[in-house]
Structure 1
Amino acid sequence: MSPENAVTGQRLKRPSWKDPRLLVGVLLVLSSVVGVISLVGSADRTTEVYAARDSISVGEKLTPENVVRAKVRLGDSERHYITAESGLPEGVVAVQRIGKDQLVPKESLGEVDALDRKPVALTIEETLPAQAVAGTRVDVWVALPDARNGFSEPKLLLPGAEIAQVTAGSTALGSSRNTVLMVLVTDSQMPAILGAQANEAKIAVVWNPGGGAS
């Protein structure tokens, strides 16, 4: 065999399993396959978390009666929610409204002392717009009684107050003409709204579509 044929034969020689380059290539392929399987497995993993059975109002305690379990794919967002594995935390209330069927986020829960807003009931005689439901905001105006047995000019008392609950009320004759509106009021605003109620002020609300609060 000529030297040229010998060189060609060496080039065409089948690589051995002991060839380091072949072993490195196999390891790279295997690690790639394992990585893909792990990624697909983690993306398909579900976590059992809690969701609100009905809407949970601010200040309402979290209990097994007002939540349900739901299996969802959360991925990296899992740490932001209450999981069934960790169980319901004790002694906490909602510091933000949690809508029906909404997952319960950790940031919506806190101790009672952490509440910076408390619900106050307002009796409203006029018809509310259909958009004024729990979770939306309204501007609360009050007109205090004056010396002429009338009312002074209305003043904006609570801009952008969040509605916690809307309940149909009734008059003395039993007809459902008025509405009891629960709005969330801060401690600094509390004396003004309670004072207006104590002085039998006329209270009106205006739906605030922008949701802005002072």
Structure 2
Amino acid sequence: MTELARPSAKRLQRPSWRDSRLVVGVLLVILAATLGAKAVASADDRVPVWVAATNLVAGDTVDAGSFVRADVRLADGMNAYLGADAPAPTGSFMLRDVRAGEMVPTSAVGGADEVDVQRVTVRADAMSTSGLTRGSRVDVFVTPKATTTGDQASASTTRVLRSAAVANVLTSSGGFGAGSMTSVQIYVPADKVQPLVEAVDAESKLTLVPSVGAVSGGGA
């Protein structure tokens, strides 16, 4: 009886450097390792800084809700921002305006002795305060109250403040129409506080005119 031919078993050969699949595999591993190292190095370049959580105005007291932390990558030499690797300087004061979402410069925060403004509440016609929000800048005009009909015609309007920062806009009162009034808290330079308070006490008419670049509507 004739025996059937038996197939001979092939030995597995050790892959050689000439095997294109091995070369491609090694290159892919090297590429993945390189990209991973770059990603880690890039992430390590980020530094924690404090960012304004809302519109901050010169004169504001810094509290726990004033700043939020953000990890950012700064260009060389950009180290003049408040680092979040230390606690937020609550209890200190804003020395300049910082818009919501902006990094807080170190020079924008200081002590009470560095603040040269005071918060004053005034009442103005609702029409002149429409669109104002925290962080807006306004010029303040004063028209003396007329005591007689003749005085009304001769009353002169004077600008007493330029580019004063709005700290808060309170709810309108007095109903609708031309008689409606709004209370607005503004930061006033120390040497301008007395003239403004005197105007308020004398029941003068105050008109707030937005300065160029004032923030309008929707600010926090």
TM-score, normalised by the number of residues in structure 1: 0.67
In 2, the alpha carbon distance for the partners of 1:164 and 1:195 equals: 20
- Partner of residue 141, structure 1: 141
Is residue 61 from structure 1 mapped to residue 64 from structure 2 by the alignment? no
- Cα distance, 1:48 vs structure 2: 0.9
Where does structure 1 lack aligned partners over 5 or more consecutive residues? 1-36
Provide the rounded CA distance (Å) in 2 between the counterparts of 1:60 and 1:162: 11
C-alpha separation in 2, matches of 1:126 and 1:75: 45
- Post-superposition Cα deviations, 1:77-120, rounded to whole Å, max 9, x if no partner, equal 54211112233235411122222222221111110111112222
- Counterpart Cα distance in 1 of 2:205 and 2:81: 43
Kept in 1, the 8 Å contact 2:139–2:161? The answer is yes
Taking the TM superposition and a 5 Å limit, the aligned residue runs for 1:10-21 are: none
Residue 101 of structure 2 aligns to which amino acid in structure 1?
Answer: D
Counting aligned pairs with the same residue, the percent is: 24
Q: Does 1:195 align with 2:198?
A: yes
Tell me the residue number matched to 1:183.
Answer: 186
The alpha carbon displacement at 1:132 in A equals 3.7
**Do the aligned partners of 1:136 and 1:162 also contact (CA within 8 Å) in 2?**
yes
Matches within 5 A, 1:20-59: 41=41, 45-59=45-59
Shift of 1:123: 1.1
Counterpart in the other structure of 1:116: 116
For residues 162 and 60 of structure 1, do their structure 2 counterparts lie closer, same or farther at Cα, with a shift above 3 Å needed? closer
Kept after mapping to 2: 8 A contact 1:131/1:207: no
Q: What CA RMSD, in Å, does the superposition of the two structures yield over aligned residues?
A: 3.1
Which runs of no fewer than 5 residues in structure 2 stay unpaired?
1-36, 215-220
- The whole-number CA distance in structure 2 between the counterparts of 1:49 and 1:208 is 30
The DSSP-based 3-state class of the residue aligned with 2:107 is helix
1:125–1:58: structure 2 CA closer, same or farther, 3 Å change rule? same
Q: Which residue of 1 aligns with 2:88?
A: 88
Distance (whole Å) between structure 2 residues aligned to residue 138 and residue 90 of structure 1: 28
| Larger RCO (CA within 8 A; separation ≥ 6) | 2
Task: Return the offset for 1:44.
Answer: 6.4
Deviation digits for residues 40-96 of structure 1 (CA, Å, limit 9, x no counterpart): 957961011111222233333323333211111113354211112233235411122
